[in-house]
Structures are given as structure tokens and as C-alpha cells.
Structure 1
Amino acid sequence: MELDVTDDTSVDAAVAHVLAATGGRIDMLVNNAGILCTGPAVEVPLAQVRQVFDTNFTGLVRLCRAIAPVMIECRQGTIVNVGSSGGYVATPWMGIYAASKTAVHAYSDALRMELAPFGVNVVVVAPGRIESNIVENHSSALLNDKTTRYVKAYSAIEEITALTQAKGATPASEFAHVVVPKILRRSPPAYITYGAQSIGTWLMYYIPPVIRDYICGSRFGTHQLAKDLQPPSF
């Protein structure tokens, strides 16, 4: 069944189709649609920023708005919103993507409390690095822009893009084997964090920012960029 989460008409048609097939009941919604975005936070084109948020966050809100009323009427249901371990801590070159996933986490926190009186569960799944096809259709226009101030950081930006699917990423089958039983509990947890490097990223949230900035700067190239840049001329 075709469903474009960025299109109101497509969402309404898909939900109507499912309700017609099930006699007016939906037990579970899994908001999994998402796209990647890498690049310097101040240089990502606004059109790309809008696309990322419309898919990763606003699209999720569209589905929740369409399906939550059905679950409220039935006094049961589970909404699973797929965030990211990057929603806990942003690293260099992933600011826009991380912001979209942090928005998912915050929205889900409010939604969980608001839907609880109606017997509807809300779960955030925050994966680490999971084997998928997310980078296959991803490209950064910034890597072709020779006017960018971050030209000396090209290799670091390319590295963090490839890192999501690098060796050691958790197989999707393993991820599902761990996560699905937790979602299917009568009272599922509010957050499920699993996958390569997910717990380490989550723990980074509790580290003082000055230490976190040092670790991320060393790992993702901003410290090297500072060394490579020429002093400004006036």
C-alpha cells in the first residue's frame, strides 16, 4: 500500500483503507519513515532542512493525528515512534538529522502522557547503528560545493555518513528480535534504546558539555579543522 508521510491526502487515503479492511480498528502504529542529513548545520540548504523535518518529524505527527483518535475511541493501542540515539546527543555534521529526532523524542514524551488516560501506549525506539538502506539514496550537496567554509572537513563529513552502515552495525533481524517483544508487552517501556553504539551515545548526554564537545570534536574532525584553517586576514 502506498503511503507518503509528507502528503496529507496520501495519509488520509491509507488510513481510510486500513480502517475499511479492519472494521474500524488499528492496534499499532509504527512511525519508521526517515531520511538522513549530513553537513555543517549552518550550510545545509533550507529546502533540505524542510524535507528532513517534514519526513522525520511532521510526517510522524501526521500519522499520529490520523490514527490516535481511532485508538482513543477503542481505549487501546500502541504508537511506536522511531527516534534515534542521535536524538540524545548531536555530533558534528549531523545537527539537522539529530534535531529532527530530538523533536520526535520530545513530541513522544508529551504524547505518552496525554494518551495514557485513554489506554494508549507511546514508545520511543532509539536505535544505534542498524543495518539498513538509509544511506543508499543519501547525498550531500555540500560535498560538491567548493565555496563551503568546511571544504577541509569533507573527509570527516563523508566518514560520519558512512559510519551509520560501517562494519559493526547491528543486523536488522537482531534489532527486531530484541525490540519487538518489548513493544508487544501489555505495558511497554517508554524508551527502547538498542543497537551498535546506542548506549554509549545515550550516556554521552550525561557528560558535561565541555567534555562531550572535546570527545566529539576529536572523533569527528572539528579539532583537526581548527588546526587546518588559515588565520583570518583583515
Structure 2
Amino acid sequence: MSDKPVVVVTGCSQGGIGFNLCQQFAAKGCRVFATARRVNAMDGLEAFGCEKVSLDVTDEVSIEKAVAEIYEKAGHVDILVNNAGAHAIGAMLDTDMASARHCLEVNVFGTLAMCKAVGRRMAERGSGKIVNIGSVVGYVSTPWAGIYCLSKAAIHSMTDTLRMELKPFGVHVMIVAPGSIKSNFGDAAIATISLPIDSLYKQYKAVINGRANASQGPRATPTEVFAKQVVQTVLKSSPPRYFTFGHLTPLFLIFFYLPRWITDRLLSAIMVKAVKAPESEAGKKNE
């Protein structure tokens, strides 16, 4: 078997962070197993030497089958990157429960299931790294994406516990918290918007719609830049517990350390009041 570090990445569909992470790990000489629900969604990764495996993180049978295949081929896993994710956009009181459950199933329980499937084997081997993709909204929640924010906060909390529990076995567990990163995640988020006709928040429709694509602004960090920084950090002999990178991350870290009442006021101004102005201007023009 090869001496190359064996890396498994979840959620590797084209246009996403996982796809670029696979490319960068492969460029660093790793043996990369790219996974997604549909293998054809990862077309192109074979050109970088990545091996594609079908994996649905919400299906225990799928996880068991995929992990067994990877271990049969590689013998072990050095690095697991839990990147698969789902969004959910809308006010908390408007939450579509099916969408909320799906978001938590993918982001939280999918991550936990993969940690269970691979983490024990790493512990038995006495080495390994688990990288859970969190978010800056895991530090500080924002309006109009509460379910997604709580799922990422849960991942941060889960990671902290796993890090302490797996340290005696030589396994390092860390969080990567992206800021605003250019990817196809905004398009996926738009499809999850929940705004019932009887919503209390109809006046904020434009704001809520905008929140779905908020991370995809013109100054968003290019995915390849983000992926390169993440891979360089993860491959260090002693990687950090938390790695936060990307556009807007300094702002969210400031929010995290500010008194909560100040953060609430600032976020409300940014994500509620500020975006109402264009609507008001449009109304004036139509008068």
C-alpha cells in the first residue's frame, strides 16, 4: 500500500468547497477519496487522481458500505474531512420542519455518523485527524438562517467534545470555520427559503431572499484560495483546534467577542434595517 496520507472528504459535488479540497489534497501528494451521494456529481476529480465513492451521510447503510470500501482499498484513513452540508433559510417562526430536520440530519448527525464510523478506527490505530467544517455563524448566529446557524454551532460544540475524548488515542479533531467563500452553496440555499403566505415577516421578503446568497458577494474568497489554505493548515504536524478563514471572518470574530447586546444591534442593522433601504427607494420610484 502507498505511504501517501489517505484523505476522505464528504460533500464533493462540482462547484463546492469539497471539490476544491480534494484537488488541493491531491496536489499535496495525498491519496484522496472524494464522496458524494451521486458519483457523477464529482465528474472531473478523477483527473486529479481522486477516487470517487458514493456516500450519503444521512444513510447508515451507505456510510457503512462506503467506509468498508475505502478501508479495503487503502487500509486506513489519516484525515477525515466532514464537509457535506445543507442549508435552511427563513425566520425561525416560519421554519419548515422537514427542511429543518434535513439540515440537522446532514450537518449535525451526518458529521457525527462519519466521526463514529472513522474515528474509532483512527483511535484503534493510534493516529488520525478529523476536520469538521463549521462556519463563522457557528460563532455568532444571524437573522434569517437560524436553523443553519444552530447546526453549525452544534458542530463546533461536537468537535470540542470529540477533540477532548479522542486526544488520549492520538486523534486530533479540529474545526474549519469558513467565512464568505465563493461556491454553489448560495444556489442550494435559495431552494430552502421558507416564507409562508401568512408569515409575520412578509415585509422582510427581500432581506430573507438576500440572506440565502449573502455569502456569495463580489468580495467572497475564491474557493480555490480557501481550499489551499485549509489543506496547508490541516497537513501541519500540529494543526490548530480552530482555523477560521475567508471574507468577513474578522468581522464575525469581533462580533463573537463583543457584548451580546452590541452584536445584536449591529447584526440587526446590517441584516434587517440596511437591506430595507433599497425597497424603500424602489417604492418611491414607483409612486
**Is TM more than 0.5 here?**
yes
Q: Percent identity?
A: 38
Q: Which amino acid aligns with 2:80?
A: L
What residue is the counterpart of 2:150 in the other structure?
A: 99
Q: Which amino acid aligns with 1:19?
A: Y
Cα drift, residue 39 of structure 1: 0.6
Alignment check: 8 A CA contact 2:182 2:223 kept = yes
Residues in 2 aligned to 1:224 and 1:28: alpha-carbon distance in whole angstroms: 41
Residues in 2 aligned to 1:69 and 1:171: alpha-carbon distance in whole angstroms: 34
Alignment check: 8 A CA contact 2:181 2:216 kept = yes
Alignment check: 8 A CA contact 1:92 1:222 kept = no
Cα drift, residue 136 of structure 1: 2.0
Residues in 2 aligned to 1:134 and 1:54: alpha-carbon distance in whole angstroms: 17
> Runs of at least 4 residues of structure 1 off by over 3 A?
222-225
Structure 1 residue 122 corresponds to structure 2 residue 173: yes
Alignment check: 8 A CA contact 1:81 1:125 kept = yes
Cα drift, residue 17 of structure 1: 0.2
What residue is the counterpart of 1:231 in the other structure?
A: none
What residue is the counterpart of 1:193 in the other structure?
A: 244
Task: List per-residue Cα deviations over 1:137-188 (Å, max 9, x = no partner).
Answer: 3324534x32111100001111121211111110011112222111111111
Show the 5 A alignment for 1:111-150: 111-138=162-189, 139-143=191-195, 145-150=196-201
Structure 1 residue 11 corresponds to structure 2 residue 66: no
Secondary structure in 1 matching 2:187: coil
Structure 1 residue 58 corresponds to structure 2 residue 109: yes
Alignment check: 8 A CA contact 2:187 2:213 kept = no
Cα drift, residue 223 of structure 1: 8.6
Task: List per-residue Cα deviations over 1:83-126 (Å, max 9, x = no partner).
Answer: 00010000110111010000000000010011111111111000
* Structure 2: 5+ residue stretches without partners: 1-52, 281-287
Residues in 1 aligned to 2:155 and 2:124: alpha-carbon distance in whole angstroms: 24
- Name which structure has the greater RCO, CA cutoff 8 Å, separation 6+: 1
Secondary structure in 2 matching 1:137: helix
Q: Which amino acid aligns with 2:61?
A: T
